Amino acid sequence: MQKVQPKILPGFMELLPSDQILFNNMIDTIRSVYEKFGFLPLDTPVIEHSEVLLAKAGGETEKQIYRFNKGDNDLSLRFDLTVPLARYVAMHYNDLVFPFKRYQMSKVFRGERPQKGRYREFYQCDIDIIGNEVLPLVYDAEIPAIIYELFKQLNFGDFVIRINNRKILNGLFSYLNLDNLSADVMRIIDKIDKIGKDNVIEEFKDMNLNEEQINTIINFITINGNNDEIICSLKQNNIDNEVYLDGVNELETVIKYIRDFGLNESNFKIDLTIARGLDYYTGTVYETNLIKYPKLGSICSGGRYENLTGYYTDQKLPGIGISIGLTRLFSQLKEEKIIESTRNSLLDVLVIPFDDTYMDYTLKVANKLRDNSFKTDVYYGNKGMKQKMKYANRLGVPYVILIGTDEVEKNVVSLKNMITGEQEIVNIDNLLDVLNK
RNA sequence: GCGGAUAUGGUGAAGGGGUUAACACGGUGGAUUGUGGUUCCAUUAUUCUAGGGUUCGAGUCCCUAUAUCCGCCCCA
């Protein structure tokens, strides 16, 4: 019979069990940190009405969204978690407590051309804080505090949270009479890490910026020094623009608060080249990088937006949030060998009866272990002992319990430590104590 | 949407016109069936993405299609 070739679509990731365990561990860590800071869980539908997801529409989103019809319904798969959040907040405005802090870790979909680090289905791990009418500036500092805690726990090595404020850049562009080009200029600045200063200058020339404008921008984004020195330079710039000055003040305040949160000074840094591609950010913006692995780019980024829900309601709901593209991050961490899978199974114990004539005894042991939260499996089937041991070995089970006629008669089990190879006879009443030590 | 590269088994791959497609990993079975991870033996691609062409002869050369990968755009 002609077989169907087993295959999946490009740009979709699936993992072997050992990697899935690793991936889930990361999810668990992220969730626990998010919850530690008071974020509430949220899950929204994968499919939404196209008119909702495309309310803003235009540009790349529309080109990349998975959109289809079912009957008369025009439907789309969500391409991020922020737009569904906006819809959710607008829809449940009356039932939510503000500031509303929610986390969501789910799959999103983008019909892009897949390539390195670029997936069509991927996990985003988002947190957002939504205020009603206002959202105090302290939250702009809480976000880095969360990132800080998170990446300390994830333990991928030294990291730095780079911080900027859109108002500073927008104010500067306005001062240079570049208001209508600010989105393009920002996008180019954002690429400076990747393409270098010279190429940035080239791109500015292609945009017909004059020399003075280019020099001012380049001098500006290459301001150097520690956080206090940069703020000092920003203040002494004599850029007479209200938005600019507002941004500088915000940045200074945020930096102060970040220190109040107790972050290590080496883990956060003002970086005036951070712009973020997305156009909805209006204030503080963040990117996070691993110092030893600049190749990975930003592994966690986000920022503040003035009004999340403008397309759905008249309520003014400012917010701030970050997102981790976990699928990409995971694949990169694996590739760089920053993380490695070590286990093929989550089991603590595998119970192996020599044959199935004493299942009652075997299952009694298994039940006892499970009742005490040991992850336990039983090998059923009349294979040779060799096969059974091999199974245990391939799963990387730390302990094997062997049960045969002798064990049943004496009310004991043979407990084998698969790492050391040592084996001992343990009375069934002492089994938990022995395993716990 | 635009540009570049590559297609050999479960995986990594060698072979650059001449009978049976190297090697390694993995899988399966076995080496005194109450003991794994080491070792040894056996076995594991009627066929090289698909279709067409050149040739006495094609993974090997040519054409077309398809797929995948890598850039760009944009982004996580």
| pLDDT, tens only, A73-119 | 999 999 999 999 999 999 999 999 999 999 999 999 998 888 888 89
Distance A338 CA to B75 C1' (A): 24
Other CB atoms within 10 Å distance of the CB of residue A68: 12
Q: Is A401 in contact with A415 (CB distance < 8 Å)? A: yes
Q: Which nucleotide is nearest to A120 (CA to C1')?
A: B76
Q: Of the candidates A350, A435, A427, A334, which has an alpha carbon nearest to the alpha carbon of residue A385?
A: A350
User: What is the spatial distance, in angstroms and rounded to an integer, between the CA atom of A100 and the C1' atom of B19?
Assistant: 76
Confidence label for A57 from pLDDT (cuts 50, 70 and 90): low
- The mean pLDDT of chain A is 92
Quick one: which residue's CA is nearest to B73's C1'?
A60
Nucleotide nearest to A417 (CA to C1'): B36
CA–CA dist A123, A39 (Å, integer): 18
The predicted model gives A157-172 an average pLDDT of: 94
Q: Give me the pLDDT at residue A387, please.
A: 87
DSSP assignment, residue A72? T
pLDDT digits (tens, 9 = 90+) for A14-52: 888 888 999 999 999 999 999 999 999 999 999 999 999
Task: Quickly name the fold that domain A17-335 has.
Answer: BirA Bifunctional Protein; domain 2 (3.30.930)
Encode A272-335 in three state secondary structure: CCCCCCCCCCCCEEEEEEECCCHHHCCCEEEEEECCCCCCCCCCCCCEEEEEEEHHHHHHHHHH
Distance A6 CA to B47 C1' (A): 20
Q: Which nucleotides of B are covered by protein (CB under 7 A)?
A: 1-2, 27, 29-30, 33-37, 67-76
- CA–C1' span, A111 to B53, in Å? 38
- Gap from A207 CA to B65 C1', Å: 41
B43 C1' to A240 CA distance, Å: 81
Domain locations along chain A? 17-335, 349-436
Model pLDDT, residue A89: 97
Q: Could you read off the pLDDT of A177-217 as tens digits, one per residue?
A: 998 888 888 889 988 888 888 889 988 988 888 999 999 99
Segment (H or E) for A255: helix A242-260
Same topology between domain A17-335 and domain A349-436 = no
CATH of domain A349-436: 3.40.50.800
CA–CA distance, A388 with A353 (Å, rounded to integer): 9
ipTM value, please give it.
0.85
**What's residue A277's pLDDT?**
66
pLDDT of residue A16: 85
Pairing mode, strands A319-325 and A300-305: antiparallel
Nucleotide in closest CA–C1' contact with A190: B75
Tens of pLDDT, residues A303-351: 999 988 999 999 999 999 999 999 999 998 988 888 888 888 899 999 9
Q: Closest nucleotide (CA of A187 to C1')?
A: B74
Looking across all nucleic acid strands, the nucleotide with the smallest C1' to CA distance from residue A392 is B36
pLDDT for the residue numbered A241: 93
- Segment A369-397 mean pLDDT: 90
What pLDDT is recorded for position A1?
Answer: 54
pTM listed for this prediction: 0.93
Per-residue pLDDT band for A2 (boundaries 50, 70, 90) equals: low
Minimum-distance nucleotide, CA of A405 to C1':
B34
The percent of residues in chain A predicted with pLDDT above 90, rounded, is 68
Q: Determine the distance between A2 (CA) and B45 (C1') in angstroms.
A: 17
Beta strands in A57-209 (DSSP E): 67-70, 73-77, 100-109, 121-130, 159-165
